[in-house]
């Protein structure tokens, strides 16, 4: 069977498809994918790659906002990228990312993602760049700096043009961002 790529909004995925995605991500992240991570990957566009065994890879892009240099930018934030264990290193992660990048570049001011150590090489090889400046979130009590995200947050230029690392990237808050 040839690979089949499907792009769909969360609302268009069946309950069975969502269960398959969650199972794939639970396995891919070896227990390090929790309910907040799952929630972060919902509400946007999903890229699913199927092979003869079923769902082989997934990633999603959701809209967030980031404050930078006095502007509120629309960000295509990449979430929940995972590949089934025996299908890794076969190019499926790249197939997922190519479609997510197409969406980011066509619909958003900026692409962003937070990479694990294992995933960082994939993103860097595809032209994503580690953000060299400070990272924060606009939490319920104001701006909270997230130094643990610095060095693992990657960005991809889209409609906003160049960013200035002398200015912070301050993302919108969501559960799980601020402890």
Express as a percent the part of the chain with pLDDT over 90.
80
Average pLDDT over residues 72-95: 93
Name every residue whose Cβ is closer than 8 Å to that of residue 132 and which is 6 or more positions away in sequence. 165
pLDDT value of residue 179: 47
Which one-letter DSSP state was computed for residue 152? T
* Three-state SS at 153: strand
Cα Rg of the chain, angstroms: 16
pLDDT value of residue 31: 84
pLDDT tens sequence across 140-169? 889 999 989 999 999 998 888 789 999 999
pLDDT value of residue 112: 97
pLDDT value of residue 177: 62
Query: Of 49-53, 79-83, 116-120, 174-178, which gets the smallest average pLDDT?
Result: 174-178
Within a 13 Å sphere around the CA of 107, how many CA atoms are in the beta-carbon half?
Answer: 14
Within a 13 Å sphere around the CA of 84, how many CA atoms are in the beta-carbon half?
Answer: 15
Answer with the residue of higher pLDDT: 161 or 49: 49
Query: What pTM does this model have?
Result: 0.93
pLDDT value of residue 156: 94
* Three-state SS at 102: helix
Q: Measured on CA atoms in the order 168, 170, 171, 176, is the torsion positive or negative?
A: positive
């Amino acid at each position: 069977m040839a690979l089949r790529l499907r792009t769909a909004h969360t609302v268009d995925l069946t309950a069975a498809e969502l269960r398959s995605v969650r199972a794939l991500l639970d396995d891919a992240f070896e227990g390090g994918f929790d309910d907040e991570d799952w929630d972060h990957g919902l509400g946007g566009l999903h890229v699913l790659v199927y092979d003869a065994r079923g769902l082989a890879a997934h990633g999603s892009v959701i809209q967030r906002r980031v404050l930078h240099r006095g502007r509120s930018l629309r960000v295509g934030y990449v979430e929940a990228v995972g590949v089934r264990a025996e299908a890794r290193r076969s190019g499926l992660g790249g197939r997922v990312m190519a479609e997510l990048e197409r969406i980011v570049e066509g619909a958003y001011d900026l692409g962003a993602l937070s990479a694990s150590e294992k995933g960082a090489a994939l993103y860097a090889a595809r032209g994503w760049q580690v953000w060299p400046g400070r990272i924060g979130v606009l939490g319920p009590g104001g701006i909270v700096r997230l130094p643990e995200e610095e060095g693992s947050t990657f960005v991809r230029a889209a409609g906003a043009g160049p960013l200035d690392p002398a200015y912070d990237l301050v993302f919108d808050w969501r559960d799980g961002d601020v402890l």
